[in-house]
A and B are shown apart, each in its own frame.
Chain A
Amino acid sequence: MNHLPEAWGRPRDDVYGAYDHSHLRPSMPNQHTQEPIVTGTSVVALKYNGGVVIAADNLASYGSLARFSNMERLKQVGTHTVVGASGDISDMQYLFDTALEDLVIKEEYQNDGHHLRAKHVYSYLSRVMYHRRNKFDPLWNVLLVAGWDDGKPFLASTDLLGTTFSAPALASGFGASLAVPLLRRVCPDEESVAKISRERAIEAVEECMKVLFYRDARSTNKYTMAIVSGEDNKVDIEWKKDVELQKQSWKFAEEIRGYGAQIV
């Protein structure tokens, strides 16, 4: 009989046979996210002469299944900032409902007249994203941060690798290919931001949401838009929720093999 301490309190091997340890031990190592599961598609944003327009549709997909059709993917952070997320929805919810919520609560509890503005929120988010990629446990998202900062519109992007960049027109996911070229036609560079009105910017972003719905199979026709506008240090954020795409025209689809009547 085995008297060694590690066998104490265990069924005797000579009576019951060797213990099958595979029942106790997890069969896999601790897993980090290796792929997104429930996902949101593009976020689209454009600067204009008094702020930023940002929009994302309300769909959360499970692979090709349109799983949740009321998932808002924009979040207001503090008074100056809206963050939009594409990619994994659970990671987005961690960021929105835990990380950013904690961040703002901590900031406001100080009650010392200081508030986090867009560039601070962006810096924080990009550090978190980069930190998590360093741990090989990424938050599987692309985030767009829109806001009003130092009397100017602010728009920048960070992703699961912690890559950061900023431009007057940004879009994540499919939008990087489909929406950005359309937005750049309206706003090719930082100088032209001054020439773009709020209405023009909203119109351009609406158009992008429509094109994305036409072409992106993981998109839907209902979206949320936020318009961050500012004047000096005063900021206003207008929300348009559950907006349905207007004036769709599927005429182009007739030309496409697989849609409509087949012409060969």
Chain B
Amino acid sequence: MFRNNYDNDSVTFSPQGRIFQVEYALEAIKQGSAAVGLVSKTHAVLVALKRNAEELGSYQKKIIGIDTHLGVALAGLAPDARVLSNFMRQQSMSSRLLYNRPVPIARVVNAIADKAQVNTQHYGRRPYGVGLLVAGVDETGPHLWEFQPSGMVLEYRGAAIGARSQSARTYLERNFEAFPDASREELVLHGLRALRDSLAQDKELTTANVSLAIVGEGEKFKLYDGEEVADWLEKLGSTQSSRGSRGAQAAAAPAGASGSGEGGDSMEVDA
């Protein structure tokens, strides 16, 4: 990314009609480790990769519970995500207090979208540097939304954000037709497989670097961390990317995966 005259603030368009500060914010998402979300007819699942889990510190937080029917996975600036999730929590609480109703997922997502958009139109403000996957269940069923600092939100059947997430997205694109009717367990495993595909060649999924959350119709938002994900990883079997180590995992390797990041993938960040 090169410096130019049009990226000093978020209120100036470049002659090409771009707002560079907002685009840089989108880059911040790609600096964060990957997060994957997907939905079936009954459940919504979030899985995320915790980077640099160190022994001296507590683990990095990738999934934040908002309410019993709703949670987010983040990629990018964690403090920004915390501010946004606190706001979502307020929205959720006031919905319960005033209407005796868990806040509809689309509404709380639109509320943060509006907040984010304001930051793209005021001098002296900074767009949020974080992308979110919002998973939740309301009266219209399970939902997965992606939130971006530009203020854009879209609903997805499966989505992935963060570093090397293109590989996870490739997995989701190839398998999404199976999601709607997938069982709770199958859905989680799809999520883990997608996440696994986003791993670098020498990395694997472990209890230390995987966060997982499930929410469903009649099932409250539950976060699995550390040893709690051991069972899931066992069900998953291989914890290494089927892309990176094709020799060992020939059977599981998708045939048409001949994209850019193939083979000896040494890219730091996905394009």
Contacts and interface: CB of A to CB of B under 8 A. Distances in A.
B261 interface: no
A206 to B, nearest CB: 32
A122 B99 CA distance: 8
Contact of B100 (A110, A112, A113, A120): A120
B1 interface: no
Contacts of A116: 99
A120 B101 contact: yes
Contacts of A114: 104, 106-107, 138-140
A123 interface: yes
A127 B97 contact: yes
A218 interface: no
A119 interface: yes
B98 A127 contact: yes
A124 interface: yes
A112 B97 contact: no
Contacts of A123: 98-101
Interface in A31-53: none
Contacts of B99: 116, 120, 123-124
Nearest to B99: A120
Nearest to B101: A120
Interface in A59-88: none
Given A124-B98, A127-B98, A110 B140 contact: no
Contacts of B98: 123-124, 127
Contacts of B101: 119-120, 123
A120 B103 CA distance: 12
B70 to A, nearest CB: 14
Nearest to A112: B106
Interface SS majority for chain B: mixed
A110 B107 contact: yes
Interface residues of A, number: 11
Interface in B118-143: 138-140
A149 to B, nearest CB: 10
Contacts of B100: 119-120, 122-123
Contacts of A120: 99-101
A165 to B, nearest CB: 15
A120 B101 CA distance: 7
Interface string A221-234: 00000000000000
Interface in A166-204: none
Interface in B131-178: 138-140
Nearest to B140: A113
Nearest to B103: A114
A114 B98 CA distance: 16
Interface in A111-162: 112-114, 116, 119-120, 122-124, 127
A119 B138 CA distance: 16
A124 B98 CA distance: 5
Contacts of A122: 100
A114 B101 CA distance: 11
B13 to A, nearest CB: 31
A187 to B, nearest CB: 25
Interface in A96-116: 110, 112-114, 116
Interface in B75-115: 97-101, 104, 106-107
B23 to A, nearest CB: 29
B157 to A, nearest CB: 17
A113 B141 CA distance: 11
A120 B96 CA distance: 9
Contacts of B106: 110, 112, 114
A113 B98 CA distance: 19
13 contacts: A110-B106, A110-B107, A112-B106, A114-B104, A114-B107, A114-B140, A119-B101, A120-B100, A123-B99, A123-B100, A123-B101, A127-B97, A127-B98
The 9 A-B pairs with the shortest beta carbon distances in the complex, nearest first, are A123-B100, A120-B99, A114-B104, A113-B140, A112-B106, A120-B101, A123-B99, A127-B98, A119-B100
Interface of A: 110, 112-114, 116, 119-120, 122-124, 127
Given A120-B100, A123-B98, 12 more contacts: A110-B107, A113-B139, A113-B140, A114-B104, A114-B138, A116-B99, A119-B100, A122-B100, A123-B99, A123-B100, A123-B101, A124-B98
